[in-house]
Amino acid sequence: MKRTRVGILIFPGVEVLDFCGPFEVFSVARMDEARRAEDPSPFEVLLVSESLDPVSAMGGMRVLPDHTLTSCPLLDVLLVPGGPGVRGDAIRQHVIDWIAERSRQVATLTCVCTGATLLGRAGLLDGRRATTHWAWLDWLRQHFPAVTVEDRLNVVEDGDLLTSAGISAGIDMALHVVRRIHGEAIARATARRMEYPYPDDNRRRV
């Protein structure tokens, strides 16, 4: 089985559930529930950061990256989370450039919550439909006027781009990715394993 390689960018001040929620979805997924103990997930998940030093996430959780920006192998899916660490110029331009470069190589580009601001800075949302955390919707409209900002949807799919509302919506977004690649039955089985309601209703919860 060829596994889908997912790269999740992490940085100081990243929102924990923004990346841990999707990480859980991708790691829990199985193609055959009866062989859960024997077979790995069809997704290989890598945490990527500027260096291999521990990353202090929101609330003080310390996380060890698997790869640096330069050592990261080719990816199938790139996921960009949000959190307080995206505010202002905290994310340096070379990281934005890396996101832009990787976006041209992956089959699926995704973000959670205010990770949309980083995709916006990279020019990856222009002419596209996207969403973000409810508190940042107007900010996204103001700073990236070429983006059609959706304020009623939990997950917005625009071709190879998936964006989601805030924090917990990243779980729903990751389930959408599982569905796109492996079908609805596998996505539903993954949600059931997590005891998480499958997102049949895509309306924003807030």
How many other CB atoms are found less than 10 A from the CB of residue 15? 25
153: DSSP letter: B
Predicted pLDDT at 13: 98
What is the residue whose two structure tokens read 């949302």? Answer: 125
Domains, in order of start, for the chain: 4-108+167-193 (3.40.50.880)
Tell me the C-alpha distance between 99 and 193, whole Å: 32
Query: Do 171 and 186 contact (CB within 8 A), yes or no?
Result: no
Predicted pLDDT at 55: 98
Tell me the C-alpha distance between 166 and 183, whole Å: 24
List the one residue out of 78, 16, 27, 19 whose CA is nearest residue 194. 27
- Which residues are catalytically annotated? 113
Angle between helices 184-193 and 16-28 (to 10 degrees): 110
Read off the amino acid at residue 117: T
Encode burial over 62-73: b for 16+ CB neighbours within 10 A, e otherwise.
Answer: eeebbeebeebe
* pTM recorded for the entire structure: 0.97
The mean pLDDT values, 10 residues at a time, for the chain of 206 residues are 95 98 98 93 98 97 98 98 93 97 98 98 98 98 98 97 98 98 98 97 93
Query: Do 187 and 179 contact (CB within 8 A), yes or no?
Result: yes
Predicted pLDDT at 114: 98
Query: Do 22 and 155 contact (CB within 8 A), yes or no?
Result: no
List the one residue out of 136, 162, 167 whose CA is nearest residue 151. 136
109: DSSP letter: E
Report CA-CA distances (Å) from 68 to 72, 97, 102, 186.
6, 14, 13, 31
3-class DSSP state of 104: coil
**Can you list the positions of beta strands (E) in 82-181?**
108-112, 129-130, 148-149, 155-158, 161-164
